[in-house]
Chain A
Amino acid sequence: MNVHNDVENWVEPYLTEGLSPAEREEVDRHMQTCAACVTVLSDAREFARFIFASLESWRAPADLEERVVRGLRREGVRSRRRFLSIEKLHVPGWTRIAALVLLFIGVGVLVQPVGLYSVGAARRAAQQATAPREEGRRLQERSDKTRLGVELRKAEEPNEMAEAEDFDEASRGDRGVFKSKGYSGGIGGGGGGRLNRRMPVENLLGGKEVLAVEKASAPASTVAADYQDRKIVKSGSLDFEVDSFENAYQRIVEIAREDSGFVASSSTQKLPNGKVRGQVVIRVPAEKFDAVVLKLRALGDLKNQSISTQDVTKHYVDLDSRLRSKRTLEERLIKILKEGKGEIKHLLEVERELGKVREEIEQIQGELKYYDNLISLSTLTLSLAERDIEQPFEYVQTLQAKVDVTVDDADAAYAKTHDIVKEIKGHILDARMTRQQDGSAKGFIKASVDAEKFPGVLEDLKKLGTPTEATVTQQQQPIGGKEGKGSPDAPVRKEQAVMDLTLSTPPRVVTLNGDVSVETPEAAGAYEAARKAVQDAGGKILDGGMTHHVDGSSGTLKVEVDASKFSGLVDTLKRLGKVKTATVKQQEPPKGIEIRRELGRLEVSVMTPGRLVQSEEGIGAALRKSVRGLVFSLQMLVVGAAYAGPWLLVALLVLFLIRRARKRRASAQQA
């Protein structure tokens, strides 16, 4: 590499020991003679130092690795076998046994019916997870050997709902109201009556039989007859006609709450005739079901009622036994994994199986929970519809008015109308303004006002200008009552009055035309004065402006003013200076337009004499004119020359060539 030219590229590697020994030598050698590169290097070093210094507080500590490791150890990072989480704690032997015993007891609590499985049954369970029948039979054998047992024989037909024991409700923990019946194999262990909490599952891991069966309190024979409890899902639907949906709803909420229930959902619908109908679904404890239905009857007219009960015991029981056999399987698999014997491949399969089984367990638990919910809380669907309340008979009076008013100023009248309507708390339904070509405007306002206030409003509107039309229509319509019949004395309900107001300005007609020009030494001042005069006369300035020349200034105004003010304004303007012109012409208004606004148009100009002097008179002007003319012709000349130029050149060239040719011919002849 060319050290000097590549200095940018080797500087950083140099500083970080990134150059090969050969490269480094080359660089060192070069720097002995090249001050520039030395400077670059030291500069880079400085920069690096700057960075290092700046980031000092951010550098990793020298013992970072140790610290992290220590921290991890503190957080409990320890070696572990992947599959078993039970052995995470390394505690002395006896606590381990105690922990396991407690574990068994706990498991036993959860899987109570499994209570009497022996080791053998567990092993077989792993192979026959789906054969409850088998289990039942096996259990029967077993049960003969245990101290419990007459009842077991009754559980011979696994899927029959034979009477069986009742399990301690409390022991069910999260199962709520669990009353089991006649299970297949699973229950078998229940045998003689009440099974107590302290029913541990056997020790799957150690092969010891830890059957601490506590004797049932009641003798076996009585159990069978006692419990008719099955898994029942109760639901009902009631249709009511009510006076008020709101009230009925409130009452429903009360009733539900009184009996420890709640409103699960509700939906309402408002019908076109204003009536409300809806549905309310409530859930109440199953045992309160009948009482609640009775209470609900009082809500209104009961049009329809249907109650249904569904016996889901069989399904429930099936689920439960499936659950238990899956649990057994789960334990079995865990055991296999713990032993860890066999090929990795096999163990991995077992693990996968375990995952599947666990998923299935959760699924079944979910279903059971769902059923528990349905069973313990009954569902009541209430449909409520509001009755049609009879309308009393009455007359409805509607007022409609059409008003046209001619006003001077449409905008002002328009605004005033808005105010009037607002003041009496009426509503503007529609409003717009249009402007015509001739400058006149029209306003349309549709408003609704209180029928009582209507006459007053009408008067106010008429006062806006000259009313040209004001028609009021009144209508009375009977409604309500039975078949539209009613007495003439029935009340009259006055509805709002609707008004259609049209505001128009009269067309404008110019009947006067004037022209005033004055001379004044102070044009600007006169201009302002003229403007003010126009404004004072209520006129409008259509156009105008001041122009300033070198030798003076002038101002012009185009004015429109009411005809009545016209002559007054002209007089005022004439007084602004020396009058040069003042003409007024009068025009006949076109026929046929009665109401109109007569206007006059004025052209006003003010100027300073200076300008006037500079009109086309005087020697100076003549001189200037001739100068201008000369300049102009000069300009034309230049332009002409610009155009003629190229042609001239062409002509010259041609001449030149001809001359040359002639010369040549001449010399050729001579030669």
Chain B
Amino acid sequence: MNSDTELATKARKGDAEAFEALVRRYARLVWATVAGMIADPSWTEDLVQETFLRAWKSVDQLEDAAAFRPWVLSIARRLVFRHTELSRRPLPDVDEVEPQPKSLDVEEARRRVQAALQRLPERYRLPLALRYLNDMDYGRISRELELSNGALRGLLNRGVKMLRRELTPFWKAQEEL
């Protein structure tokens, strides 16, 4: 099994198969990153694709083959910024929306949860996004993010705590329905 570094080196030389293998490996991580930054989920897949397309086009400029992951994530982030600027989609501000416990709006729920997620700093957001959006378990997450057991535990715990703090009133209201 090729290591990521090997794959990246090959991809750099123009080997599309190696690049595809990298794509498979990092698609979900990019998904989680992108989803954590935009307001409208319907764009996520496009942005993920676009990220990898750009990555392919400029893969020969990848200087350090061992740093493929941060490199492709930075491409993703830049793309999202441009996308956000172009489409001018502001992130929904939860504070401005009065809790309406009577409504069963799933869209509403998504927006709130998403907004709460996006307000977290990235190091908390990413593990949570991988968990909730990609159904990854602990082991997979720690591999994807290259974090130690203890570190990930701390991040997840704190992340969930923060989420709960923000969402509990809304959640409880929903529960009562």
List the interface of chain A (C-beta within 8 A of B). Answer: 8-9, 12-13, 16-18, 44, 46-48, 50-61, 64-65, 67-69, 71-72, 75, 77-82
Contact = CB atoms under 8 A, between A and B. Distances in A.
A58 B138 contact: no
Interface in B58-106: 60, 106
Given A47-B171, A72-B56, A55 B137 contact: no
9 contacts: A16-B138, A17-B138, A50-B167, A55-B132, A56-B106, A60-B28, A60-B32, A75-B53, A77-B53
Contact of A64 (B20, B27, B110, B131): B27
A51 B132 contact: yes
Contacts of B48: 64, 68
B160 interface: yes
A16 B131 CA distance: 8
A74 to B, nearest CB: 9
A358 to B, nearest CB: 17
A5 to B, nearest CB: 14
B6 interface: no
Contacts of B133: 55, 58-60
B60 to A, nearest CB: 6
A82 B60 contact: yes
Interface string B148-177: 010011001100110110010001001100
Given A16-B131, A59-B135, A81-B14, A72 B52 contact: yes
For the residues of A in contact with B, the DSSP-based class is helix
B43 to A, nearest CB: 11
A9 B132 CA distance: 19
Contact of A12 (B28, B110, B149, B157): B157
Contacts of B114: 55, 58
Contacts of A77: 16, 19-20, 53, 56
A52 B23 contact: no
Contacts of B13: 81-82
Given A68-B49, A69-B23, A72-B56, A55 B113 contact: yes
Contacts of A47: 160, 164, 171
Interface size on B, as a range, is: 35 or more
A80 B14 contact: yes
Interface centre among B13, B16, B32, B149 (most CB of A within 10 A): B16
Given A59-B134, A64-B28, A72-B23, 6 more contacts: A50-B174, A53-B109, A54-B113, A57-B106, A58-B133, A60-B44
B112 interface: yes
A12 B17 CA distance: 38
B110 A57 contact: yes
B51 to A, nearest CB: 9
Contact of A9 (B14, B17, B134, B157): B157
A20 to B, nearest CB: 9
A352 to B, nearest CB: 14
Contacts of B122: none
A65 B14 contact: no
Contacts of B138: 13, 16-18
Interface centre among A12, A58, A72, A81 (most CB of B within 10 A): A58
A59 B137 CA distance: 15
B124 interface: no
Interface centre among A68, A77, A80 (most CB of B within 10 A): A68
Interface in B1-46: 13-17, 19-20, 23-24, 27-28, 31-32, 35, 41, 44-45
B156 A58 contact: no
A53 B5 CA distance: 37
B106 A72 contact: no
Contacts of A18: 137-139, 149, 152-153, 156
